[in-house]
Structure 1
């Protein structure tokens, strides 16, 4: 992992340390967006993931 990826992971963990996963629709969108930011996805990847998850 690069230093930038490690920093993103640390920030992600710190932001979610006290939160439990809640699989309500509104929270699923939030979790998806956090994941996309974490992996630094391209627009095509985001579109593919979104389409796959809807199926």
Structure 2
């Protein structure tokens, strides 16, 4: 079984307010980074979206 490590974070300034997420995926010597920003969002939405985008990327 392959082991992929996924680190995620999401935040917003204000709730709602501008925010974004970041995802870093590690597999052996490979590294992939994902990030996106939004004009109006919530911290919870960004935290969850970071995990969703990471899982979608390894699908």
Q: Which has the higher strand share?
A: 2
**TM-score if structure 1 supplies the norm length?**
0.35
